Amino acid sequence: MADVFTDTTQLSNLVQAAYDRAIEFALRSVPQFRGFVTKRPVQQAMPGSSVVFELYNDLTAATSTLSEDVDVAAVGVPQTTTVSVTLSPYGNAVITSENLRLEALSDVEPAVANIVAWNMVDSIDAVIQNIIAANGTNIAAAQAGGFHSTQIDGTAAAKNSVTQTDVFTSTAARAIPAVMRTNKALPAVGDYYRALVHPKVSVDLRSETGAAGWRDPHAYSGDNAGAIWKGELGAYEGAAYVETPRNTVVANGTSINVYNSYFLGQQALAEAVAEEPHIVFGLRTDKLMRFQPVGWKSLIGWNVFRQAALFQVYSASSLH
């Protein structure tokens, strides 16, 4: 009679999958947009459903000579410009069951708290970007070698004007800071405006060749030459660049992905806060006290404060 082997099939109940109890979180990108809010209430009069900011406007330049024997005619100070920030509630919540907490192979409560906390910063960042995209009026659409029509100078661009070859180039990198300086917008970081671009947008800027492109000055600038090897954008043509996958990417109706790039100066965004975003551990109010709520909430709002300090660029990517 043939031998019967006592193997993993014979005692299959004893052979089980092993699990690592240290569970990793999903990949996360660094939140960006709230970090660039530079205008908040200074002397808020009272609590309210919205906060109204006001800006003084300057007098028209007086360039005519005065008459020796005639008194100057007084002029009125121009009306102030107002910017309103509406406060809105934001939040999210999770409820864990007692069975899950007792039976899970890993300690689930700290993980849930971490996930909820991340959802808070992730959601707030998305809300601010949506407000920028919806309320910014200075929008240009990239075009091979330049911009569509006159959109660099105040005519808002349409995403459906972007074609596959309309990628972000040094033309945009030079033109946008020039327009912002023309509009008297103050830089955000030292002498630089802040630029936020998607990694698939930055690759087109870094792929340019020739003396007028990004690569040439970075290749011959001493220690900065290492930026090419690291794939860093750094400071270029008046703006300090940050690469982030958080920038909006949408299809424009013609199977082309359109990427938003943002240029910001000082006081581009205003924020009003009645309740800071924070984590809340709810009470167990069920009859057997088995269900543990954990969530986050806030009462907060944002708006574009100085349009001159905000510029958006729509472009395609060669990686699409």
97-125 pLDDT tens trace: 999 999 999 999 999 999 999 999 999 99
Q: What percent of the chain has pLDDT over 70?
A: 88
Indicate the pLDDT class of residue 148, thresholds 50, 70 and 90: low
Indicate the pLDDT class of residue 255, thresholds 50, 70 and 90: confident
| 255 lies in some domain | yes
CA distance 120 to 296: 6
Q: Do the beta carbons of residue 258 and residue 250 sit within 8 Å?
A: yes
Indicate the pLDDT class of residue 228, thresholds 50, 70 and 90: very low
Q: Where are the beta strands (DSSP E) in 189-256?
A: 193-197, 235-236, 239-243, 249-251
Assign residue 314 the CATH number of its domain: 3.90.1690
CA distance 143 to 155: 15
pTM: 0.87
Indicate the number of domains in the chain. 1
| 13 lies in some domain | no
| 2 lies in some domain | no
Q: Do the beta carbons of residue 276 and residue 298 sit within 8 Å?
A: yes
Find tokens 């007098």 and name the residue: 59
- Report the pLDDT averaged over residues 170-199: 93
Domain encompassing residue 37:
30-55+81-320
| 235 lies in some domain | yes
Q: Do the beta carbons of residue 267 and residue 52 sit within 8 Å?
A: no
For CA atoms 105, 109, 114, 119, give the dihedral sign.
positive
One DSSP character per residue, 59-119 reads PPP--SPPPSSSPPPP-PPPPPEEEEEE-EEEEEEEEE-HHHHHH-SS-HHHHHHHHHHHH
pLDDT in tens, 5-52: 888 998 999 999 999 999 999 999 999 999 999 999 999 999 999 999
DSSP run (H or E) holding 230: helix 226-230
User: Is the pLDDT at 54 greater than 90, yes or no?
Assistant: yes
CA distance 265 to 57: 19
| 64 lies in some domain | no
User: Is the pLDDT at 63 greater than 50, yes or no?
Assistant: yes
**Would you call 33 exposed, middle or buried from its count of C-beta atoms within 10 A (0-12, 13-18, 19+)?**
buried
| 18 lies in some domain | no
User: Across the chain, what does the average pLDDT equal?
Assistant: 89
Find tokens 């167990």 and name the residue: 284
User: Is the pLDDT at 150 greater than 60, yes or no?
Assistant: no
| 68 lies in some domain | no
pLDDT in tens, 22-35: 999 999 999 999 99
| 119 lies in some domain | yes
